Amino acid sequence: MCLGVPGRVISIHDYTAVVDFWGVRKDVRLDIVDEPVVPGDYILNHVGFAIRRIAPESVAETLELYEMLLRENAGGEDDLMALDVRAEIAGAS
Amino acid sequence: MTNELQFRDPALARSLAATLARLVDEIGRPVAVMHVCGSHEQAIARFGLRSLFPKALDVIMGPGCPVCVTDVPEVDEGVVLARQGVRIVTFGDMLRVPGTVQSLADAQASGANIEVIYSPRQAIEIARETDEEVVLFATGFETTAVATAAVILDNPPKNFSVLSAHKYIPPVMEIVAEMPGSRVEGFLAAGHAAAITGSAVFEPFVERHQVPVVVAGFEPMDILAGLVELLELIRNKTPRVANMFPRCVSAEGNIPAQKQLWRVFKPVGGKWRGIAHVPNGNLRLRDEFAHVDARKRFTIDLPSLWDYAPPALAGQCICGDIMAGIRNPRDCRLFNRECVPENPVGACMVSNEGTCKIWHLYGGVPDLEATA
Amino acid sequence: MTAILTAPSSGRVTLKQGGGGRAMRALIEKLFVRDFATMPLHNPDFSVGVGAMDDGAAIRIGDEWLVITTDSHVIHPIVFPGGDIGRLSICGTVNDLAMMGATTVLGLTCSVILEEGFALDSLEAIQRSMIAACREAGAPVVTGDTKVMGKRELDGIVINTCGIGLTRTLIRDNGLSLGDRIIVTGSIAEHGLAVMAKRHEIGIEGDLVSDVAPLNAMIASVLAGAPGAVTAMKDPTRGGVSSALHEMASKSGVGILLDERAIPVTAAVRAVGELLGIDPLHVANEGKALIGVRADAADRVLDILRAHPLGRHAAVIGTCVAERPGGVILNTGFGKRLLAEPEGEPLPRIC
């Protein structure tokens, strides 16, 4: 329920990592993250603590998951067209 | 992390929205689902996602704002301590939540020493730099409670203590599911809290109530895809727990964090503002941590506040019903009139995750079709 | 939408009333403007007075307008990445004059109130910032005053500056018409976030630097190079772009439709906004202007701005529409929503 922002670990000293968020850097504590974290890893930051390590392949996996959702529910070429048209109508109204 | 921006691609969003429309059509009747996370409502409102949802789909915000559900006596405890001259540090979200008489911001205006921090870590640093007592007024759900637990376990200075108003979300889902007249057919669960607790924590709930729970992230794509999955499960009548946020959530969650959480905190029953009693919904410090428990270290003289009459408008506040998803801000006589963010009557108007605040800020469900 | 703003229950001024946005405007209107505005102006047809609550006041002299403005500066911390209270006190006033079209500053006054014990080398550093800013803006300080108050009677230092300029073309903040475009002269929210990160010691390293700068030369080139193009101006200081646009929309009787994707935001500002949960549209700027321009002149004004170092990232961000007069509608790219006015100091949040 909370602001969780992903960032990339630049360096680590003891339990503190310097993490890059879109070009700004902040210290983030590693006391409660459950996997070993090394520079180059992505973590999810909440109130200055890393609460998860984000596996790098998981972003691509998630996007594939969403594409699959679309394909499952598209029901064929014609329906993709219908989807587009409906989207156009929805977007324009 | 440019990949994250793909989770904000409008074209992909429109495709997912069209899929949602198709699913709702297949179900063939209006569907209501509930999310229990203020950050989900924030994201929905901020990106204007409601204008993409099909009309027959009602995405209700439940009691998912930890600030809103922080009950009046809890705020009063913080205010009383502040007025007793104790230095309080807290998150920005809590500052303006009304207590019986005052909010922490009001106490600050009267001269109390109250500071806004971003992280519990800062509270420790502040305590180290002074001799005076420093109390962390700790709010938030389990996601934040683990951070508080971490600083408590890391040898905090003697002048540091915690006034815990932390909350635990799974119990309140039970309350909502059991409410008579509830038309909620599925739940969207908060991705960041689930990062800690794991998605499996919802399995007993699904078993008992036979409604699907989908764990979703907070980017527009995450929310739309989460809703698509939820509607699929509703259409197929296959209630189960689905994890649509695998990049941050696993079935078992973050076990070391859970261990720390339950080592420091115990769940107790308590009143959530407006919602009545939630068994196991409040997190309080265990006895072995009495030495950092502000409730044990200080005598908090609550009755001293009650010499004043409570604000007259409080009786008309329907925050409780709004948080339970039974009514919405437009049903409230005070909404956007006497109750505005500058002068909130209820907590829903204070917190950035409060339904009323969000509806006020973002215009509620937009009737902006006219502005093409 | 009219909201009834009742007095805060404590009967005292609170910080939210200093933060810009509706709370502050309500306080000012109720306590000061209403009474001050009852005094007759010597030449009411040729004056813009306190009732207008514009960036400054204006009095007609011959075929020019004399523009006066005043501002007090109480910022903490007094030194922040990109500037200090000294630079801010000069640029703030120079910019208020420029927003009304008075880009040549005849003179500034400078009143300083110091807390006993204030470090002399800090004071010297502040003075050096001020003179540097004066030179940049071509705005001389012509008179001033200094007072000292006892320890703890004041928090460090307060600076008030007053500025006087002359202009043939008076620009107001209420001149927007339907179809006018809204231009922002560069990327937003840098000042407020840089100061906030420092104030709350959030420990963010990066390109978060205040944009505090004098805009008068750049604005002068716009007014000279595109005469008649500018219909309204305002600088988005406290309360950010949201506050300023709401005022312009409300005073002009139009709605403003903003394209969120067109608003220039640096990666650092976006990052810190996400981290702290703060909307850049509610955050103060001290080196940017919002310019309302006639639609057919927008490109010309953009060219002039982009040729100037302070205007490289100028962009058209919105249009004036008939819907929701006084309101600001944001097109997020996914859907539309209403942009709210900030209600006080933005604070870092966890949820």
For B113-139, what is each residue's pLDDT tens digit? 999 999 999 999 999 999 999 999 999
Q: A5 CA to chain C: closest CA distance, Å? A: 6
C54 and C200 together in one domain: no
On chain A, the residues whose CB falls within 8 A of the CB of C270 are 22
Query: CB-based burial of residue C50 (10 Å sphere; 0-12 exposed, 13-18 middle, 19+ buried)?
Result: middle
On chain B, the residues whose CB falls within 8 A of the CB of C12 are 109-110
DSSP code, position C155: S
- Quickly state the pLDDT bin for C1 (edges 50, 70, 90): very low
A49 and A65 together in one domain: no
In a domain, C307, yes or no: yes
Which of the residue ranges B253-257, B262-266, B365-369, C326-330 would you say has the lowest mean pLDDT?
B365-369
Q: Say what the pLDDT of residue A67 is.
A: 81
B273 with B344: CB under 8 angstroms? no
Amino acid at C43: N
Contact status of C275 with chain A (Cβ, < 8 Å): yes
On chain C, the residues whose CB falls within 8 A of the CB of B353 are 351
Of the partner residues A7, A22, A49, the one whose CB lies closest to the CB of residue B147: A49
Tell which wins on pLDDT, B370 or B255: B255
How many domains, chain A? 2
Q: Hey, are the CB atoms on C350 and A3 less than 8 Å from each other?
A: yes
Q: Say what the pLDDT of residue C255 is.
A: 96
Residue C351 has pLDDT above 80, yes or no: no
Q: What is the chain B residue with the closest CA to C332? A: B47
On chain B, the residues whose CB falls within 8 A of the CB of C8 are 106, 109, 343
- Whether the complex's predicted ipTM surpasses the cut of 0.90: no
Contact status of C208 with chain A (Cβ, < 8 Å): yes
Q: What is the mean pLDDT of chain C?
A: 89
A88 and A73 together in one domain: yes
Q: What is the pLDDT of residues C120-164, one digit of tens each?
A: 999 999 999 999 999 999 999 999 999 999 998 888 999 999 999
Q: B75 CA to chain A: closest CA distance, Å? A: 20
Residue range B171-196: mean pLDDT, rounded: 88
Q: What is the pLDDT of residues C163-218, one digit of tens each?
A: 999 999 999 999 999 999 999 999 999 999 999 888 877 777 777 899 999 999 99
On chain A, the residues whose CB falls within 8 A of the CB of C208 are 24
Q: Hey, are the CB atoms on B3 and A90 less than 8 Å from each other?
A: no
The whole domain housing A11 covers: 5-54
Q: Say what the pLDDT of residue C13 is.
A: 67
Residue C91 has pLDDT above 90, yes or no: yes
Q: Hey, are the CB atoms on A26 and C267 less than 8 Å from each other?
A: no
Q: Hey, are the CB atoms on C203 and A26 less than 8 Å from each other?
A: yes
Residue range B95-119: mean pLDDT, rounded: 86
Q: Say what the pLDDT of residue C100 is.
A: 95
Of the partner residues C13, C321, C351, the one whose CB lies closest to the CB of residue B140: C351
Residue B237 has pLDDT above 90, yes or no: yes
Reading the block at residue B336, the tokens are 């956007």
* Interatomic CA distance for residues B48 and B239, integer angstroms: 29
Q: B1 CA to chain A: closest CA distance, Å? A: 6
- Quickly state the pLDDT bin for B105 (edges 50, 70, 90): confident
SS3 (DSSP) at C304: helix
**pTM of the full structure:** 0.83
Q: What is the pLDDT of residues B2-13, one digit of tens each?
A: 445 567 888 888
What part of A 3-62 touches B (C-beta under 8 Å)? 3-4, 6-8, 21-22, 29, 31-34, 42, 44, 46-49, 51-52, 54-55, 58-62
Q: Hey, are the CB atoms on B21 and A90 less than 8 Å from each other?
A: yes
Tell which wins on pLDDT, B368 or B53: B53
Residue C31 has pLDDT above 90, yes or no: no
Residue C250 has pLDDT above 90, yes or no: yes
Q: Hey, are the CB atoms on B105 and C9 less than 8 Å from each other?
A: no
Q: Hey, are the CB atoms on C349 and A46 less than 8 Å from each other?
A: no
Which of the residue ranges A75-79, B162-166, B309-313, C320-324 would you say has the lowest mean pLDDT?
A75-79
Q: pLDDT of chain A along its 93 residues, tens only?
A: 467 888 999 999 999 999 998 888 999 999 999 999 999 999 999 999 999 999 878 877 887 888 888 887 765 444 454 455 555 554 544
C292 and C326 together in one domain: yes
Q: What is the mean pLDDT of chain B?
A: 86
Q: Hey, are the CB atoms on B361 and C340 less than 8 Å from each other?
A: yes
Q: What is the chain C residue with the closest CA to B66? A: C351
CATH of the domain at C144: 3.30.1330.10
In a domain, C346, yes or no: no
Q: Say what the pLDDT of residue A2 is.
A: 65
CATH of the domain at A45: 2.30.30.140
Residue range C236-258: mean pLDDT, rounded: 95
Q: Is the dihedral of CA C284, C287, C288, C289 positive or negative?
A: positive
Cα–Cα distances in Å, from B55 out to B16, B31, B59, B230, B365? 15, 10, 10, 16, 11
C310 with C185: CB under 8 angstroms? yes
Q: Hey, what CATH topology would domain B72-168+254-307 get? A: Rossmann fold (3.40.50)
Residue C330 has pLDDT above 90, yes or no: yes
End-of-domain residue from the set C140, C167, C194: C167
* Interatomic CA distance for residues B349 and C282, integer angstroms: 18
Q: Hey, are the CB atoms on B66 and C337 less than 8 Å from each other?
A: no
DSSP code, position C7: P
Residue range B97-119: mean pLDDT, rounded: 86
In a domain, C348, yes or no: no
Q: Which residues, other chains included, contact A25 with Cβ-Cβ below 8 Å and sequence gap of 6+?
A: A10, A18, A19, C204, C205, C206
Contact status of B192 with chain A (Cβ, < 8 Å): yes
Q: Hey, are the CB atoms on B146 and A51 less than 8 Å from each other?
A: yes
B163 with B86: CB under 8 angstroms? no
CATH of the domain at C198: 3.90.650.10
B295 with B73: CB under 8 angstroms? no
A50 and A62 together in one domain: no
Q: Say what the pLDDT of residue B181 is.
A: 72
C56 and C129 together in one domain: yes
Q: C335 CA to chain B: closest CA distance, Å? A: 5
Q: Say what the pLDDT of residue C21 is.
A: 58
Residue C269 has pLDDT above 80, yes or no: yes
The Cβ-side half-sphere exposure at C277, using a 13 Å CA radius, reads 24
Residue range C98-122: mean pLDDT, rounded: 95
* Interatomic CA distance for residues C78 and C114, integer angstroms: 12
Q: Say what the pLDDT of residue A77 is.
A: 45
**Alpha helices, H only, chain C:** 22-28, 34-36, 85-99, 120-137, 190-199, 216-225, 240-252, 267-276, 298-306
Contact status of B257 with chain A (Cβ, < 8 Å): yes
Please tell me the CATH code under which domain B3-64+169-243 is placed.
Answer: 3.40.50.11750
The total of other beta-carbon atoms located within 10 Å of residue B235's CB is 15
Residue reference for tokens 């909130």: B344
Reading the block at residue B226, the tokens are 């989460």
Q: Hey, are the CB atoms on B15 and A83 less than 8 Å from each other?
A: yes
Element (H, E) at C183: strand C181-184
Q: Hey, are the CB atoms on C10 and B122 less than 8 Å from each other?
A: no
Q: Say what the pLDDT of residue B354 is.
A: 76
In a domain, C172, yes or no: no
Tell which wins on pLDDT, B308 or B191: B191
Cα–Cα distances in Å, from B94 out to B149, C23, C93? 19, 19, 35
Residue range B347-361: mean pLDDT, rounded: 77
Residue C43 has pLDDT above 80, yes or no: no
The Cβ-side half-sphere exposure at A76, using a 13 Å CA radius, reads 2
Q: Say what the pLDDT of residue B1 is.
A: 39
A50 and A63 together in one domain: no
In a domain, C345, yes or no: no
Structural domain spans, chain B: 3-64+169-243, 72-168+254-307, 312-365
C218 and C332 together in one domain: yes
Q: Hey, are the CB atoms on A87 and B369 less than 8 Å from each other?
A: no
- Quickly state the pLDDT bin for B301 (edges 50, 70, 90): confident
Q: C105 CA to chain B: closest CA distance, Å? A: 37
How many domains, chain C? 2
The whole domain housing C241 covers: 181-339
Q: Which chains touch B (3 or more CB pairs under 8 A)?
A: A, C
On chain A, the residues whose CB falls within 8 A of the CB of B149 are 32
Residue C105 has pLDDT above 90, yes or no: yes
Reading the block at residue C72, the tokens are 């007090």
Q: Chains A and B: how many Cβ contacts under 8 Å? A: 157
